[in-house]
Amino acid sequence: MVPCGGTPSATPVDAMRFRLSFPRLCRTLTALTGAALVACSGSGGGPAGPDPLSSRDGGASLTYQGQVQDQRSGAPLAGIRVSGGGTSAWTDGGGRFALVAAEGAELTFVGAGYYDRVTPLEGASGSFAIVPRSFDMDAFNDVGRDYSSGTVRWLSSPDVYVDVRAHNFESGQSVPAAWVEQVASLAPQFLSRWTGGALSARSVTVGTTPPTAGTPGTLIIAFDEDASRYPSGASVGVTIASWDTGGVIRNASVRLRFSGLTGDAAAFSRQAVLGHEIGHAVGLAHMDGATSSMMAPVVRTPELTTFDLAAGALLYDRRPGTRADDREAASGLRAALVPSATASSGVICDVELEVGR
């Protein structure tokens, strides 16, 4: 996969090739299980004091109070060293800390069994989750940073528009009502499940007058039977997304080619196609090598795996542009909210959905 840059454009991110295996089709399940980050409150005494061995640098400073949690379980973490601006502190039994540091300093969190996290200091308090080393960060770098060196993601929930026009259907044919109902119902669920609950559909509209392609803040889903829009005759889905140079996704569109997936027996397979494509629309890429993840070139699982859920939650618990392993952009969310030049998305890839009992 090759990231693109430079002038504004929108290039297909993904196309799925669907391999049917009858009579196993009707047994396929693709309902995804949701997972949201668990916020937790610590226990024990007050914030830990600054490390007596630390020092302060000059300039304006503030006393920052926070709590450190496990990214996966939400449990508060004791004994984590928090450093910033030349000072440092340790978290207490409730995961809390207090640190005197210069305004604008970067905080670094270091603890045994956890990946280091670096994030800009903003405000006077906050909570921070750090990732246990049991999590496959190499796989996350593959699926979460495949389009550029940093992550790409939405900052706010998009408006979803389901375009019911029969694009390039045979004369006299219309989009089946069952397809429309299924897509309109599942799209918001997939947005939430892929992002650990960070995104939902700000609105869902079904109609024949969608916003112009590329309209900021929109996710447009259309039904299109034009074979030339897909990389192969067996492909049934393609996603297009655009984001700015800060890694903020501005808009996305999904085209579905469901002609080979008609009837009640194919409902779960259509769901799999939609779920996979929305995974790309929220900023996730394919994973290399053999894997059971929904983002794999061959999708073998009916639901999001534990890794999928953790990867999506991590992506949306960090600022856009977060770099490996866990270094957030110094500009922070405030700067990311300012529109910047558009960097194009980047690849065309075939996906095979394996259907089996």
What distance in Å separates the CA atoms of residue 120 and residue 48, rounded to the nearest whole number?
A: 20
Let me know if the fold of 12-36+137-354 is the same as that of 61-130: no
Instruction: Give the distance from CA 244 to its chain's centroid.
Output: 16
Looking at residue 300, its pLDDT comes to: 65
Question: Side chain identity at 227, as an amino acid letter?
Answer: A
Q: Where are the domains of the chain?
A: 12-36+137-354, 61-130
Looking at residue 235, its pLDDT comes to: 83
Q: 325 preceded by cis ω (within 30°)?
A: yes
Report mean pLDDT in 10-residue bins for the chain, 357 residues.
Answer: 38 44 32 30 40 44 91 97 92 96 87 96 87 94 85 96 97 95 96 96 98 94 92 83 89 92 89 89 85 76 82 95 88 46 49 53
Architecture of domain 61-130: Sandwich (2.60)
**CATH fold of the domain at 12-36+137-354:** Collagenase (Catalytic Domain) (3.40.390)
Q: Tens digit of pLDDT for each residue in 269-326?
A: 898 889 889 999 999 988 887 777 888 777 666 678 889 899 999 999 999 999 999 9
In the numeric block, the tokens 């939430």 are attached to 192
Looking at residue 301, its pLDDT comes to: 63
Q: Round the CA-based radius of gyration of the chain to a whole number and report it.
A: 22
Looking at residue 339, its pLDDT comes to: 47
Among 64, 199, 80, 50, CA closest to 122: 64
What distance in Å separates the CA atoms of residue 309 and residue 69, rounded to the nearest whole number?
A: 18
Looking at residue 299, its pLDDT comes to: 65
pTM: 0.80
What distance in Å separates the CA atoms of residue 272 and residue 270, rounded to the nearest whole number?
A: 5
